[in-house]
Every structure is written in structure tokens, then in C-alpha cells.
Amino acid sequence: MDRLIRVRVLDKNGHSIPDATVSLFVNGEYIGKAVAVFDKAGTLYTFQISDSSAGVVLRAEYKDEAPQNATLAQGVNEWDFSFNNVEVPMPINKPFWQEHIPGLLGVVFLVISIVLAVVFSNPTDYQRRVFVGALAVAIAGIGTEIPGFLNLKLSLGTKLTITAAGALAIFVLVYFFVPA
């Protein structure tokens, strides 16, 4: 069973630090690193490893600060690093429509999907795929407004495997599992 590890890198006030780097070591071997390139609050670094019993060490680095290491116990899948000498300036508040544009566009696409369903009561197969695509985009946009994390691993036959997270996972669910 896969192990999903979530990591945050925070400043002294508990705000996410932009441009921090988190490296992953599994059983003493360097696997890779993740870098946040934007300063959105709640930046989450996510790693997925296939061996749930493997030893996991995380390393957080930020500019000239001393790197921090954490060895995770078997049942621990979340970790917060805190750089107490760093204070990230808070971003300027954006207008409501800028902050929520994916959700607003999702509502617009949802209304369009409903109108199209009423106008075209017997759509062709092509029209049906277009409508389902618009509906999937709509629901994924609305899903961006819902806090939390959705991880999806989907196997379609023996040749196709899809892994998605967040709004993309919602899109995949709606697109591939068409409502009746």
C-alpha cells in the first residue's frame, strides 16, 4: 500500500514559506525534492512512496537558514518544519473575484451545462462528450473552493493508470465516470 506524506514549511508566525525546498530520503537513499514557487498560504509538499514500511527522512532548506531534518516514524505521514528566524510578509488581500475565480468560473460552466442539457435533449455522442467535459471543468472549479485534499489513483484496464490530486482528481472523476 502506498504511503502519502504531506509536509509544510512554515515561518515563525505559522505562514507558508515560498521558495523553500523539501528533500525526500527513503531507506537512506535520496529520492527527490520539491520546491514551492509561489507563496500561497498552506503550501503543501506531497510525496508518495510505494513501500509503506520504508524509513523516511525529510530535509527542509530555505535560503541561508540551517537545514532541518526529520525522521518520520511508521505511522507519521504529516510533518511541519518551522524556521523561527524567518518571517514571510503577508500578501496583499486580493478582491473577492480574484481570490475565487476558479469557483466562479465553475458556477458559470455549471449553469452553461444545465442550459445545454435542457436545450439539447437528445445530444449526439460528440455533443455529450463536450457537455461532460464542460461539466467536469465546472465541478473541478467549484471543488477548488472546498478545503481538503483528494488523492485519486485510477486503473482503467491493464494499460492505463491515472493518478491525480485536488481539483484535477475531481475533473477525472466526473469526466471518466459520467453521470447517468
pLDDT in tens, the chain (180 residues): 688 888 999 999 888 887 889 999 999 999 998 887 655 555 788 888 888 888 999 999 998 999 999 999 988 999 999 999 988 877 677 788 778 888 888 898 889 888 888 888 888 888 888 888 888 888 888 888 877 667 777 776 666 777 777 777 777 777 777 655
For 93, residues 6+ apart whose C-beta sits below 8 A from its C-beta are: 99
pTM: 0.52
Hey, how many other C-beta atoms are within 10 angstroms of the C-beta on 137?
22
Same domain, 123 and 169: yes
114 shares a domain with 45:
no
Q: What is the pLDDT of residue 177?
A: 73
The answer to whether residues 75 and 41 belong to one domain is: yes
Looking at residue 36, its pLDDT comes to: 72
Query: What is the reported pLDDT for 30?
Result: 94
Counting the structural domains of the chain, the total is 2
Task: Check whether residue 74 and residue 140 sit in a common domain.
Answer: no
Report the alpha-carbon distance of residue 54 to residue 37 in Å, rounded: 29
Are 68 and 100 in the same domain?
no
Same domain, 37 and 69: yes
Q: Which amino acid is at 91?
A: P
- Together in a domain, 73 and 105: no
Residue 20 shares a structural domain with residue 74 = yes
- In this prediction, residue 68 carries a pLDDT of 96
Q: Quick one: 123 and 52 in the same domain?
A: no
What pLDDT is recorded for position 1? 67
Q: Which residues lie below 8 Å from residue 32, measured CB to CB, with a gap of 6+? A: 23, 24, 47
- From 48, 82, 116, the end of a domain falls on 82
Query: Whole-angstrom Cα distance, residue 82 to residue 85?
Result: 9
CATH at 12: 2.60.40.1120
Q: 38-69 b/e with 16+ CB inside 10 Å = b?
A: eeeeebbbebeeeeeebebbbbbbbeeeeebe
Q: What's the pLDDT at 67?
A: 95
Please state, in angstroms and rounded to a whole number, the distance separating the CA atoms of residues 104 and 102.
Answer: 5
Domain end among 82, 105, 136: 82
Three-state secondary structure call for residue 149: coil
Q: Are residues 63 and 132 in the same domain?
A: no
- Structural domain span for residue 112: 96-176
